[in-house]
Chains A and B, each alone.
Chain A
Amino acid sequence: MNKILSLPLLVLAFAAQAQMQTPAAWSTVEAQARGQTVYFNAWGGAEATNAYIDWVTKEVKRRYDVEVRHVKVTDAADVVKRVQTEVAAGRLNDGSVDLLWVNGENFRNLKNAGLLYGPWAESLPNWGAVDLNKPVRSDFSVPTDGFEAPWGTAQLTFIADKKATPTAPDSASQWLRFAQANPGRTSYPKPPDFHGTTFLKQLLIELTPDPAALQQPVNASTFARATAPLWAFLDQLHPLQWRTGKAFPASAAEMHRMLADGELRLSLTFNPNEAANLIASHQLPDTAFSFGFTAGTIGNVHFVAIPVNAKAKAGAQVLANFLLSPEAQVHKADIAVWGDGTVLNTAKLPAAMQARFHKKAPGALTSHVPTLAEPHASWVEALESEWLKRYGTR
C-alpha cells in the first residue's frame, strides 16, 4: 500500500526536479541580473516590513550586484492597474514594475489577464526547501502554476490589552457579545482595506451555512445565500461599534494606535508576532496580547510575481530566489525584525536555524490557532462591493 502511494509521489518529485532549472541555466539568469535595477512594488505600510526590505536590498546588492528599489505601495490593486495601463499603452518590455508583492484577487486578475511573466517560480534553486504542505501552490483557491513565488505566511490574529480586556472573544458570536458589553469600543478597518476584508471573510466562514461553497468561484445565487447571515450579523454589530458603525478606521495600523489609546478594545493583524513588535517600539503598552478564535482564523501565503512587461526579469528572479533562501527567511521570521512566518520546511534546516525560527516574544500569539483556508479569490470583489453598497454610505 505504502509503495503504491509513494510511487506517484516519487514521479511528482522527479517531475519537480526536472522542471527546476539546471545550475547552468540559473547561472545565466544570475549573469543577466548583474547590474540590473529591480523595482520591487511592495506594500509599505509597516516600518518592520520596510526595514526588512532595506536589509534585503543591501544583501542582494552585495551578493548578486542587483540594485533593488522598494516602491512603497498602499494598495496592490494600484499596481495591477499600472501594469494594465502600461501594457495597453504598448509598453511591453520596459514596464515600471519588476517584482510585485501580491496575493488573492490581485494575482487572479493579473493571471487571468495574461499580465504575468512565467512560469518561473518552481524553477528557482531555493524552491527545493519550500514546504509543500503549506498552500504555496494555490492562492485563494487559484492555482499559482509557477507564476508567483511564495514569500511568507500570515494568519489573522487579534490584539487586546489585558488591563482593559481580561477575557477576549473567541468566536464571531462572542465578538458580538463583547461589542454589546463594550459599546463604541470595537471596529474593523474599512473594506477594501485587506485587513477589513479579511475580517469579513473570517465572519463569513463562521456564519455561512455551507462553508464548502466558498471554495468555488462566486455566482449571484450562491453569493446571496452564503452571505445573508453575514449581513444580518453586521446589521446587529455596526450600531454597537465605534461611531455606531458610521465610520471605520482606515487601516489595521490605525486600529493599533486606537487600541493603545483605549479608543478601541480590540485590534487585528495578519501577523501573529506584530503585537510583540509594536510593544518593542512603544506603540502598544506592554500589557497587550494576541489571540485567535478557537475554531480557527484565516491564514494564507503571500507571494511575489513578475509582470509580463517587467524590464529586469532576471534581476527579479534573483531577488525572489534570495527572498526564499533560509537566511532571508530566518531573518524575516525574527520578531525583532518583522516576525513573518516562513514558507520553508524548517525540519529540513540545521538545528541552530530551526531554533531561530521558533523564538517567541511577549505579546505574540502563544496558543495554537487552527488555520482556515481563504475563500476563492472571486469572493473578495463580490464581498467588497456588496459591503460598500450596504455600509459605504452612512
Chain B
Amino acid sequence: MPVALVIVPVLPGLYWALSPAWGSQVWLALWHEPQWPQALQATLTSALLGSVLAAASAAMLAMLIYPSALWFRMQRHLAVLLSVPHAAFAVGLFFLLAPSGWLARALAPLFGWTSPPDWLSVQDPWGLSLTLALAIKESWFLLWILMALLGEQAVARQMLVARSLGYGRMQIWRAVLWPQLLPRLAWPMAAVLAYGLSVVDMAIVLGPGTPPTLAVLVWHWLTDASPEQQALGAAASLVLLALLVAVGGLASLAWLVHRRQRQRRLPTGQRRPHNPPVWLKLHLPLLGIGYLVVALLVLWSLAGPWFFPALWPQALTLESWRSANWQPFWTTLWLATAASMWCVAATLVWLEWGPQRYNAVLYLPLIVPVLPLVAGQYAALLKLQLDGQAVGVLWSHLLMVLPYTLLTLVGAYRSFDDRLMTSARALGQSRLSACLRVKWPLLQRPIATALAVGFAVSVAQYLPTLFAGGGRFATVTTEAVALSAGGNRRVLAVQALLQVVLPLVGFALAALWPRWNSRHRLGLR
C-alpha cells in the first residue's frame, strides 16, 4: 500500500525522537529553563490570538457580504492570495512594517524622519507582528473554507428561504447558518491553531528573538549537539501537542455549554430586517495587504540603491534577477512535482481501493503540530540511512502533502455518479481499466486541482526539507528564510517571489489544462 509507506515509518521514528522526554529531570530542566515562560507566552499569543483574529475577521466579512456579487468576486482574489506561501508573505510583511519598511518611509515626510522610527513593529517581544501575519494569512484560508461550505446547495437555499420569510441577514446568520457551519469549521480551526503553534519559518522572519517562540526554541533544541538540549526539545514538542489538545478540549466544552444555553432561548419570531453597515469595507484591507506585500517583493527584487527614507528605489535594475541563484528553484520544482504526482496517485488508489474509514488517520498531519512529526521522520530516516538523500526529502514531503490531496479529491470522488462505473464494468472492463478510461478522465478537473494543491503544499514545506534534507537540499522556502536573516533584501525578494510564482503557475496550469484537454468534449467543459 503506497499510503502505508508514507505513514508507518513515522511511528517508530516518533518513539525514537520523543523518548528522551521520558524522565522527570528533563521536565524539571524545562521548567527551570529561563527562556521557556516567555517563549510559551509568545507562542500562546501568536497562535491563539492569531487564530481567533483570523476566525473573527473571516466570520465578520462573511456576515457582511454573503450573499452578494462581491462575495463571488472575492473567490478569485482568494485563489491568488492563498497561493502566496507563508514564508513569502512574512518576508513581504516585514518589508512593509519594519521600522525602515515601506510604511515608515511613506510616513517619513509627514513627520520629518531622516532615520527609521524606533518602532516595535516587527519581531516585537510579545509576538504581535507574528500574530498579525497569522491572522491575515489564516483568515484567507478560513474564508476559502467558508466559501466552500456556503457554496453547498443546501446551505445557500436556507439563506434564500429565511430571507423570503423577512428575517435580516444578521438574524439568519445567528439562527440558521452559524449553528450548522461552526461544527464543520472545527477541524479547519484546529488546523489553523496547530499551524500557529508550530510555525517556524514565519516566526524566524517576524517573531521575537529574545526569546523566540516555543516552536523556534524546540527546533533549536532538537538540532543542538548536546543530548540534554535534545531531550528538552522532545519534551517541549510534547508541550506543543498538549497545548493543542487542551485548547481543542476547551473549545469543544465551550461549544457544548453554548448549545445547552441556546436551547433554552428559542427564536421569538420577531423580524429585524435591517442590514449590516455598508461602510465597513473589511475586504479592502484584508485582501489589499496581500497584493501590497507581493508588490513590495517585486519592487525590492528590481531595486538598485534604496536607502531610508526614499519611498522609491533610486534606480531599477535586473541585476538581482541576473545574478539570482536558481538552484533552489530547480530543486523545489522537481521535489514538488514528484511529491504531488506521487500523492495524487496514492490518493486515487486509496479512494478507489483503500479502507475509507481510516481517512481520519491521514488527516492527522493537518491538525498535529508539525515539529514532533518532523523529528520522528528524521529519526526514522537516520535509522534507514536515508537522511540527506533525495528519496528521504521526498518521503518527508509526502506525509505533509497527502492529506491535502486527499482533502481536495475526496468530495469530488464521493459525489461521482457510480452508475457510470457500473456501466463500464457491465461492458466488460476491469475495475482498473474502468478507472483509467472512465472515472479518472471524468475527474480530471479535481485531479488537476489536487496536483496543484499538492505542489503548493510541497513548495511551502520548511521544516521537513531542513531536517530530512540535512541542509543539502535548498528549496526556495529554506533559501528565503535563511536569507531573511541576511542583509540583502534584493536577493531575499527574488527567492520569496520565486516561492510565490511556483504555486501560482501550478494553479494556473491546473485551471487551463483540463479545459484544453477536454476542448473536444462538450460535457466536460
Contacts and interface: CB of A to CB of B under 8 A. Distances in A.
Interface of A: 39, 41, 44-47, 50, 69, 71-74, 77-82, 84-86, 89, 91, 94, 96, 109, 164, 184-185, 190, 242-243, 246-248, 250-258, 260-263, 278, 281-283, 285, 388-389, 391-394
B225 interface: yes
A207 B124 CA distance: 31
Contacts of B387: 96
A77 B225 contact: yes
A236 B81 CA distance: 47
A391 B99 CA distance: 23
B307 A81 contact: no
B34 A394 contact: no
A235 B305 CA distance: 37
Interface in B384-398: 385, 387-388
Contact of A184 (B118, B208, B307, B472): B118
Contacts of B485: 45, 74, 250-251, 253-254
Given A243-B120, A261-B116, A261-B308, A393 B210 contact: yes
Nearest to B208: A247
Interface residues of B, number: 42
A91 B389 CA distance: 14
Contact of A74 (B123, B482, B489): B482
Nearest to A54: B325
A283 B488 CA distance: 7
Contact of A243 (B34, B118, B385): B118
Given A190-B210, A251-B485, A253-B488, A81 B125 contact: no
B116 A81 contact: no
The 9 closest A-B pairs by CB, nearest first: A262-B115, A253-B487, A261-B100, A261-B308, A257-B487, A81-B225, A253-B486, A96-B388, A250-B485
B225 A261 contact: no
Given A254-B487, A257-B489, 20 more contacts: A45-B482, A47-B488, A77-B225, A85-B382, A243-B118, A247-B125, A251-B487, A253-B485, A253-B486, A253-B487, A256-B487, A257-B100, A260-B487, A261-B100, A261-B115, A262-B115, A262-B308, A263-B116, A283-B487, A392-B211
A219 B399 CA distance: 47
B288 interface: no
B35 A263 contact: no
A89 B34 contact: no
A103 to B, nearest CB: 16
A177 B434 CA distance: 81
B471 A89 contact: no
B521 to A, nearest CB: 48
A261 B307 contact: yes
A391 B125 CA distance: 13
B209 A248 contact: yes
A260 B307 contact: yes
B418 interface: no
Interface in B114-146: 114-116, 118, 120, 123-125
A69 B488 CA distance: 23
Contacts of A74: 482, 485
Nearest to B101: A261
B210 A392 contact: yes
B304 interface: yes
B211 A72 contact: no
Contacts of A256: 487
B486 A254 contact: yes
Contacts of A39: 472
Contacts of B370: none
B223 interface: yes
Given A263-B116, A388-B35, A81 B308 contact: no
Interface string B219-237: 0000111000000000000
Contacts of B224: 77, 81
Given A89-B383, A250-B485, A393-B38, A282 B211 contact: no
B327 to A, nearest CB: 10
A285 B307 contact: yes
Contact of B382 (A89, A250, A254, A260): A89
Nearest to A50: B325
Contacts of A89: 382-383, 385
